[in-house]
């Protein structure tokens, strides 16, 4: 089983959560290849993990760094980081990107690139 951590800007905004839900639905139900042909090479036993859905309810409760550390701990348990949306403008997504790069976690982008 491959665990894919879905990184997307959040900022506590409902529209960002909704965007991730649409992305997850496309990935899981339609098995569309929105991240390029390499996504299909992960296999049919791929699990997509959204930190927004796991920890989003705590966004206004936890200190930002505590929440980010929870996300990075979750990312450490995953096999691939999938960067989505305007991730380069998100402090949290950039931290997840840097963590994955430092730990050698492979990265994919919704535009199709695979590192």
Q: Please state, in angstroms and rounded to a whole number, the distance separating the CA atoms of residues 64 and 115.
A: 28
pLDDT, the chain, mean: 86
CATH-assigned architecture of domain 2-109? 3-Layer(aba) Sandwich (3.40)
**Amino acid 30: pLDDT:** 52
Average pLDDT over residues 85-101: 96
Domain extent listing, the chain: 2-109
**Amino acid 29: pLDDT:** 66
Name the strand (E) or helix (H) holding 101: helix 91-103
Angle at 9 (CA atoms; ends 4, 15), nearest 5 degrees: 110
Q: What is the pLDDT of residues 19-74, one digit of tens each?
A: 999 888 887 765 545 545 445 456 667 889 999 999 999 999 999 999 999 999 99
Say which residue, 75 or 43, is predicted with more confidence.
75
Whether residue 113 has pLDDT greater than 70: no
**Amino acid 33: pLDDT:** 53
Main-chain phi, psi angles of 24, to 5 degrees:
-60, -40
pTM of the model as a whole: 0.85
């Amino acid at each position: 089983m491959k665990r894919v951590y879905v990184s997307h800007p959040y900022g506590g905004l409902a529209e960002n959560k909704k965007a991730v839900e649409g992305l997850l639905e496309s990935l899981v139900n339609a098995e569309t290849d929105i991240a390029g042909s390499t996504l299909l090479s992960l296999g049919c036993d791929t699990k997509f993990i959204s930190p927004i859905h796991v920890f989003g309810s705590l966004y206004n409760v936890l200190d930002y760094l505590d929440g980010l550390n929870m996300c990075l701990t979750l990312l450490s348990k995953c096999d691939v980081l999938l960067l989505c949306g305007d991730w380069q403008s998100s402090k949290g997504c950039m931290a997840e990107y840097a963590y994955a790069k430092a730990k050698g976690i492979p990265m994919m982008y919704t535009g199709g690139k695979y590192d």
